[in-house]
Chains A and B, each alone.
Chain A
């Protein structure tokens, strides 16, 4: 039961990591960034077409920055947009064609400004998600992440903060993963109540998006959708980065270790642990021979 005229915002975060997509284009001609963006546009259009009060935002997550593809600062209502709309010639709902054109223009800008930098090759996903959260402050909103490149472990803290902030604000995070599984996004979906899906066929991205991610949370309860994946919440110890089930946690700095050590290597706090007392064997009394 949807309250009429309730604004529902969908924020689509697209991972446009140039290195990954550049390599992808050389691997797989059928599914390139252009194709991916087309599918995203279809998704965005469909969302806006579902209801007059639905709103859309698209953010590109790059390795240099995060960039709003839509809505865009350069959009001035009513001038350039109108011309383009008539030129598309297919009688499309004007809002949709305006949006599409803006997205296309912005992504062209973003990618053309890509520089070659060896040191930052990871997608700045945590930052993008933070921006997405800022959008959905007073209205009902959800975030859909289209993930391409691998997780960046260095963003762990920021990522977790973003996830918990989203949970507090009741913002769902959905994830559609194109390539390698992302533990962080699995946790994000699990904690916020969203859906995590690694798609088997990249070329059918549009179909997966429309089938699984287009319905909002209330509608999903009525549909048969892929069941939630089992999330591995095991932590990795700080000393070896191995996944452990039982470990030791320093009460001062909360670092996790797989073995007990008397001094925490992170914060240098000393710990004493009571060792079980040794039972001293009783000395036998020597019998005196008379």
Chain B
């Protein structure tokens, strides 16, 4: 059942109805009769349908896509489809019944084999402002860059969705974005008028929470990366430079601001990249944490201490292999393999005397062997050999029978192949119905029998007539007919048995 769309009755009407229109064109109307909650029910159904419909459409499209892909990739399958479904010998459902096993069962995340595209760390730099002549700057924004910005800075995305298109146009939004000090390096003066000042505050919060969480990996000690000078007497601990704002010079504070922003940016890019399976338009994810920053730090959590330690000390290759338990082959008569499936040949019985005689004889003969290459072949022997090897000779008899594939034109051969493939498919469906022990199989076997008959009439008989017209005397369709006949007689036997059981 494929739902195409649905309609609801206008609000003013007395009857509260919902109509579903299917892919096939059929429509079903639901009338909500419960006086008190009719409207609520219908609206709730509508909401649910609205949520589910796009997902379902995606799935349906995927199925269609998969079918198309299969037909395109396999020309034999395509030909079979044309022969059977297009000419209405069997229905499309039956054709696809056994072939689409994987599609509906697998997790959509697994089926979607496309890899997530990561975010380039330099996407901001790619914007590359250009001077446009009159003291202004021109920023080139592509859809990719916008996407990168949204994925990395959810706060900006939120602002965007809040303000565009109600308050600002897209162009205005981005102009403000680039003008704001939020974007620029030295975020020293952030005026409260700026819509992005909140973003700056959020960023600060996020960064602080990141620092507080620290790194959970016991093997990584970030603090040891600080600059330590062991100069001048070794062990004299120089005081760490103070981080309080009061003592900083202007330059120092702007440097540390840049470094802070740099680190934050990298953290955000990594966090955005590690957010898996999240489409930008997916509504579900928006509902969780609106504070993009703290969410990123969740994903930044390294694995638990124990796991890390285990990883460091264990090697997978050195573990004992966990192979499934197998049963050893127990051959009682392994000598059978020595001769294999070869028939018993009448053995030449040689007495030991024979053996001794033969060996002596040959040793004697070969003792003084000298090649005599001028008398290898007599002319009579040579000419009789040549006669045997010439066309019509003793050794060339088998070739007189022309191979069947040289007598039948290639199009006929091709058609025959298609017939075999199609017949094979139908017969497979037919024979798989036996033993018939459910009503479904009963129906199917009867349908398949009529399909076979239809195939014979629409495909096989015209082919036979065609080759008869071409005066091809070889019986090309005998085997096919035999197979169909076997199927018919099996059906007949089954039918008679069934009728006997009923009486």
Contacts and interface: CB of A to CB of B under 8 A. Distances in A.
Interface of A: 18-23, 25-26, 32-35, 37-39, 41-42, 45, 100, 103-104, 107-108, 111-112, 114-116, 118, 121, 150-151, 153-154, 156-157, 160, 183-184, 197, 199-201, 203-204, 206-208, 211-212, 224-227, 229-230, 235-238, 241-243, 252-253, 255-256, 265-268, 279
Interface of B: 329-334, 336-345, 348, 350, 352, 354-363, 365-367, 369-373, 375-378, 381-382, 384-386, 388-389, 391, 394-396, 398-399, 501
Given A34-B365, A121-B350, A200-B388, A104 B355 contact: no
B358 A255 contact: no
A25 B366 CA distance: 11
Contact of A112 (B336, B367, B386, B388): B367
Given A20-B358, A153-B340, 14 more contacts: A18-B363, A22-B360, A22-B362, A34-B369, A35-B376, A41-B373, A107-B369, A153-B344, A153-B345, A156-B339, A201-B384, A227-B399, A229-B398, A241-B344
A216 B235 CA distance: 85
A41 B357 CA distance: 27
Contacts of A265: 332-333
A21 B398 contact: no
Nearest to B356: A116
A104 B371 contact: yes
B340 A21 contact: no
B297 to A, nearest CB: 57
Contacts of A22: 357-362
Nearest to B331: A267
B366 A38 contact: no
Nearest to B375: A38
A160 B340 contact: yes
10 contacts: A19-B358, A38-B376, A100-B371, A111-B363, A200-B388, A204-B384, A207-B386, A227-B396, A227-B399, A268-B330
Given A156-B342, A226-B396, A256-B341, A21 B358 contact: yes
Contacts of A235: 341
Given A116-B355, A154-B339, A100 B373 contact: yes
B367 A18 contact: no
A211 B383 CA distance: 12
B338 A206 contact: no
A204 B355 contact: no
Given A156-B338, A266-B333, A150 B366 contact: no
Nearest to B347: A150
Nearest to A274: B435
B378 A107 contact: no
A107 B337 CA distance: 34
A222 to B, nearest CB: 15
Contact of A153 (B339, B357, B396): B339
Contact of A207 (B330, B332, B365, B377): B377
B338 A150 contact: no
A154 B345 CA distance: 12
A188 B331 CA distance: 28
B331 A25 contact: no
A38 B371 contact: yes
A268 B332 contact: yes
Contacts of A115: 359
Contacts of B344: 153, 236, 241
A268 B340 CA distance: 18
A236 B389 CA distance: 33
Nearest to A277: B435
Given A150-B348, A200-B395, A204-B384, A253 B342 contact: no
Nearest to A243: B343
Contacts of A153: 338-340, 342, 344-345
B207 to A, nearest CB: 63
B497 to A, nearest CB: 8
Most chain B CB atoms below 10 A, which of A20, A22, A237, A242:
A22
A256 B339 CA distance: 12
A25 B381 contact: no
B43 to A, nearest CB: 57
Contact of A111 (B329, B333, B334, B362): B362
Contacts of B369: 34, 37, 104, 107-108, 111
A41 B377 CA distance: 12
A272 to B, nearest CB: 17
A20 to B, nearest CB: 8
B359 A224 contact: no
Contact of A118 (B329, B331, B355): B355
Nearest to A230: B398
Contacts of A41: 371, 373
Contacts of A225: 389
A110 B332 CA distance: 39
Closest 6 A/B residue pairs (Cβ)? A22-B358, A235-B341, A156-B340, A204-B385, A111-B366, A227-B399
Contact of B336 (A37, A114, A238): A238
Contacts of A253: 329, 331
A209 to B, nearest CB: 10
A42 B343 CA distance: 37
Contacts of B342: 151, 153, 156, 183-184, 236, 241
Contact of A241 (B343, B365, B381): B343
A201 B399 contact: no
Contacts of B363: 18, 111-112, 114
Most chain A CB atoms below 10 A, which of B342, B378, B386, B394:
B342
Nearest to B397: A227
Given A25-B361, A37-B369, A224-B391, A150 B345 contact: yes
B389 A212 contact: yes
Nearest to A184: B342
Contacts of A107: 366, 369
A204 B332 contact: no
Contact of A38 (B339, B372, B378): B372
Contacts of B348: 150
Contacts of B362: 18, 21-22, 25, 33, 111, 114
B407 to A, nearest CB: 16
A226 B389 contact: yes
A11 B77 CA distance: 46
B336 A201 contact: no
Contact of A151 (B345, B371, B381): B345
